[in-house]
Amino acid sequence: MKKTILAILMVLPTLAMAAGGAYTEKVDYDLHNKESLQNGAKLFVNYCLSCHSAAYQRYNRMGDDLGLTDAQVKANLMFAADKVGETMTVALQTEDAKKMFGTKVPDLSVVSRARGADWLYTYLRTFYKDDSRPFGVNNVTFADVGMPHVLWELEGMKKLVNADEMKAHPGTAPKFEKISEGKMSAAEYDSAMRDLTAFMVYMGEPAKLVRYELGIWVILFLVILFLVAYPMKKEFWKDIH
């Protein structure tokens, strides 16, 4: 009986998420891939940090985790601070943000935990042209979002062609048509957004990388312990059997 209750409790959260019905696409990222994380970090400081802060993220901690020296971090990733021990704050004041965007700009340190990687990846790839919105764009994943499509130079601009179908059947995948080309092909943009998503997941929990490494040693230790303990057990019990 206890086991049944436990099993039900364990699947409940997944059921709740499935019931949400919003369309998201799976993202296949790899936190072991330092190149991917570095590319994500670069995109983040170049395109996101001008509005969003990441107040829990220290530059030098990021350098260590991503395999970069302090000098590399300084040269490539620091535009908004001058000491590597500083956190990723932002010059934009809350009051100004409210005037410009009609809302405050959320800190992104732990957004991956609140939204999930799939949501972020889908969000970054579903901006579309909508002249009724203040910045001329809307987003499938976050309806009437207050954020402009800051990556339009890379992605180009597209329009949504199946809005009615999506309304009638929630969860339907959006269909887009390109109206202007960006600097990247669709595949390049997808891969860049995978890197950016991976970086945000890493930011949400920098300790994850450390834990991965620790895990290997723990398992190795258990294997060695077993190799020692098993013959010992045999030795102790052989007279009793």
Q: Are 65 and 209 in contact (CB under 8 A)?
A: yes
Of residues 108 and 157, the one with the C-beta less far from ligand HEC: 108
Alpha-carbon distance of 9 to 13, in angstroms, equals 8
Closest approach, Cβ 71 to ligand HEC, in A, equals 25
- Which residues form the interface with ligand HEC (CB under 6 A)? 47-48, 50-52, 101, 103, 105-106, 108, 111, 114-115, 120, 123, 145-148, 150-151, 196
Tokens of 185: 């092909």
Minimum CB separation from ligand HEC for residue 43, in Å? 6
Q: Contact at 8 Å (CB) between 149 and 164?
A: no
Smallest gap from Cβ 210 to ligand HEC, in A, equals 24
For the CB of residue 224, give the shortest distance to ligand HEC in the complex, in Å.
44
The nearest distance, CB 131 to ligand HEC, in angstroms, is: 18
Beta carbon nearer to ligand HEC, 74 or 133 = 133
Instruction: Pick the closer one to ligand HEC by CB: 149 or 233.
Output: 149
- Cα distances (angstroms) measured from residue 106 to each of 64, 109, 167, 213: 26, 9, 28, 31
**What is the C-alpha to C-alpha distance for residues 32 and 126, in angstroms, rounded to an integer?**
27
- Cβ(97)–Cβ(104) under 8 Å? yes
Q: Is 179 exposed, middle or buried (0-12, 13-18, 19+ CB in 10 A)?
A: exposed
Nearer to ligand HEC by Cβ, of 52 and 58: the residue is 52
Nearer to ligand HEC, 95 or 235 (CB): 95
